[in-house]
Amino acid sequence: MSDDDCAAPVPRKIRNDKGGVRFYRPRSSAPPFTAIVHRRGFMFGVAASACTAALGLGSKAQAAGGAAQPPPNATQPDFDFAEIELNARADDLLPEGYERQILIRWGDPLFADAPGFDANDQSPERARRQFGYNNDYTSFIPLPFGSRSSDRGLLVVNHEYPLPHLMFPGLAQDRVAEDITSAQVDVTIASCGHSIVELRRNGARWEVDLASRYNRRITADTPIRISGPAAGHPMMRTQADPTGRLVLGTHDNCNGGITPWGTILICEEGSAEFFAGNVEEHPDRAHMERNHYESSPAGRYGWARFHNRFDFNDSPNEPNRFEWVVEIDPLAPEEPPVKRTALGRFAHEGAHCALAADGRVVVYLGDDWEFEYCYRFVSARRFDPADRAANRDLLDHGILSVARFEADGTVSWLPLIWGEGPLTPANGFADQGTVLLHTRRAADLLGATPMDSPEGYEPSPVTGHVFIALTGNEGRQPDQVDAANPRSANAHGHMLELIPPRVDGKPDHAAERFEWRVFMLCGDPESPTDGATFPEGTSREGWFVEPDNFGFDPAGRMWLCSDGPGIRQHDGLWAMHVSGTKAGLPRLFYSAPAGAECCSPAFTPDGRTLFLSIQHPSAGASSIDTAASRWPDFDADTPPRPAVIAIRRKDGNAVGGA
């Protein structure tokens, strides 16, 4: 990296995230691209001679081996719920005929001997035995493992970040880092991480089994093993851990995924806001700046005031031990979590798995930041469905690749392998561990396509096509527009559809080249300047902006959450088909409470329960006293509390219709 690359230009304010502001440093300008956009189903391209290729329908795309259209599908039933209105209410809103249960809230006990929640009596000891704060990734693992049980299972939930001013009475948002106490910092550290809790269905209600051996809390100070090519690397060693193989904790856990062998992949989306220090005084300033660290005397949450390891001038390598994918075995609560460094270091939004045609495991990984990249990991060994233990370290060996989206409608996967291409000692890469610690810089050198904040990123169980939700990028300039990111100043976001080639009728997720196309451009369909491409028939409530994470129900229909609130000033959950004549036609199903974001829709195998995380209710309030909603308790003495809800139809049938 040259001295010019290290110079910090005037930063541009991009978007509000977690109550704060993100900045980007422009690194590259993509070739100019002129988009011709019509409503979905018509042409989109760079020029008349290439318009079919830009939709993935041209001869090059066909030569890559993929089907130009989704395979026929008759298993996606129509939705049968009446679409609701998107309203910024103190309470949430569901369609008629549905009900929701508050399943578990921040501070609720996870163990039979754990204390209940008391906003005025919080301690790290209590928090380590209670459900954590700001739940994002959510999934349901049936018990017994491998069964299709919809009556008993494990709820697995990430806890992304704290909002101390909405956790502690008397604390103001603009004074958190300065005024938070040592005891309060330790509570926030104990409130991040992950929760695992066993659920049992009792009639129409779900019950938390506080006596379950599987219940578990992982926090920002839980010992975690480091494995893979970067384990023991000099950049991973600290005074507290000279081996570079054991780190305390995980935080900023956003979305995640489940492996074919039933372990959980939780994703560290970033760590810059948890650290403090002066970037100019860091011994590797270029590395810190490339990974979006900024100078701050105390960090966003004040952790560095009381724990030196969060001061990156005092402990320069400690940040390198975060921003990884962490694997947890929910069936073995005695086993420590493991940070799998073969999956790269960047702001992981999710880690969704698929199987290649030959049985190798593929993990799709998005870097949730403006102008960052889409990745794919392919394991070296095949998944063994007959021997769960044989898959234990499968994610330590394989190839991480980054996506380059071509204007001809194909996407190339560029492998990040030490010694190949520019990834050599001449460019500062001493070994594979260095490549993975510098994943973003390696992707820069390979010429990957800078994206508009990749968030949800997973394959459809019906078509095998891979969908990517890009939340937006207001900093994209007209000369940085390209085929896969066709709008400058993209405030509303869009979605892509990747089409792997098929082998023996199955999608080959390990293929070197896919087809791709734009699935939708988000925004107001009635606004000529938005250029939205929702299908005809989209209602006034059906369109959305800033698509975030999504999931699929047992029928293969997509359920998508927004993360804005953007021009709609509120977030919700939309449902849509992914193939057929109604593909991409969204219907609003759920409206979150004021200030909240709904996350990670997850279903029981029978489709009769939808689990949904509701995080940061009343976000934007300056303190508990100014909260717009005390959801879900609506108690004047209780702050707003993130929670997981269970949604069911009152008649007991499948959510959304079957």
pLDDT for residue 658: 82
pLDDT for residue 34: 29
Q: What is the pLDDT of residues 535-572, one digit of tens each?
A: 999 999 999 999 999 999 999 999 999 999 889 989 99
For residue 288, tell me if it sits in a domain.
no
Instruction: Answer yes or no: are the C-beta atoms of 231 and 341 closer than 8 Å.
Output: yes
Higher pLDDT, 14 or 203: 203
Least confident of 428-432, 508-512, 561-565: 561-565
Domain count, the chain: 1
User: Which structural domain, as residue segments, surrounds residue 236?
Assistant: 3-270+322-649
Whether residue 238 has pLDDT greater than 90: yes
Mean pLDDT within 24-34: 35
CA nearest neighbour of 253 among 228, 210, 224: 224
pLDDT for residue 565: 87
For residue 280, tell me if it sits in a domain.
no
CA-to-CA separations, 278 to 2, 249, 251, 303, 564, in angstroms, rounded: 21, 23, 21, 15, 31
For residue 342, tell me if it sits in a domain.
yes
CA nearest neighbour of 366 among 496, 192, 223: 496
- For the chain, percent helix, then strand, then coil, each to nearest 5? 15, 30, 55
Band (pLDDT 50/70/90 cuts) for residue 577 is very high
CA-to-CA distance for 657 and 442, rounded, in angstroms?
46
Whether residue 635 has pLDDT greater than 80: yes
Band (pLDDT 50/70/90 cuts) for residue 18 is low
CA-to-CA separations, 507 to 70, 93, 256, 467, in angstroms, rounded: 11, 38, 22, 14
Whether residue 56 has pLDDT greater than 80: no
For residue 310, tell me if it sits in a domain.
no
CA nearest neighbour of 73 among 646, 555, 604, 446: 555
pLDDT for residue 76: 84
CA-to-CA distance for 646 and 652, rounded, in angstroms?
13
CA-to-CA distance for 136 and 262, rounded, in angstroms?
19
pLDDT for residue 326: 98
Q: What is the pLDDT of residues 581-592, one digit of tens each?
A: 999 999 999 999
Mean pLDDT within 214-242: 98
Whether residue 59 has pLDDT greater than 90: no
For residue 35, tell me if it sits in a domain.
yes
pLDDT for residue 361: 98
pLDDT for residue 6: 35
- Give DSSP secondary structure letters for 64-91: TT--SSPPP----PPP-SPP------SS
CA-to-CA distance for 336 and 222, rounded, in angstroms?
9
Whether residue 1 has pLDDT greater than 90: no
Q: Is 3 exposed, middle or buried (0-12, 13-18, 19+ CB in 10 A)?
A: exposed
pLDDT for residue 67: 33
CA-to-CA distance for 405 and 37, rounded, in angstroms?
18
Indicate the helix (H) or strand (E) that contains 444. helix 439-446
pLDDT for residue 68: 35
Q: What is the pLDDT of residues 273-324, one digit of tens each?
A: 999 999 999 999 999 999 999 999 999 999 999 999 999 999 999 999 999 9
Instruction: Round to the nearest angstrom and report the end-to-end CA distance of the chain.
Output: 55
CA nearest neighbour of 629 among 598, 590, 594: 594
Instruction: Answer yes or no: are the C-beta atoms of 416 and 400 closer than 8 Å.
Output: yes
Band (pLDDT 50/70/90 cuts) for residue 72 is very low
For residue 198, tell me if it sits in a domain.
yes
Residues sharing a CB contact under 8 Å with residue 442, sequence separation 6 or more, in sequence order? 402, 416, 423, 429, 435
CB atoms within 10 A of CB 446: 19
Residue recorded with tokens 């029981």: 604
Q: What is the CATH number of the domain that holds 133?
A: 2.120.10.30
CA-to-CA distance for 641 and 595, rounded, in angstroms?
12
For residue 411, tell me if it sits in a domain.
yes
Mean pLDDT within 594-618: 97
For residue 293, tell me if it sits in a domain.
no
Helices (H) and strands (E) in the chain, counts: 9, 34
Mean pLDDT within 389-401: 98
For residue 543, which amino acid is it? W
Band (pLDDT 50/70/90 cuts) for residue 75 is low
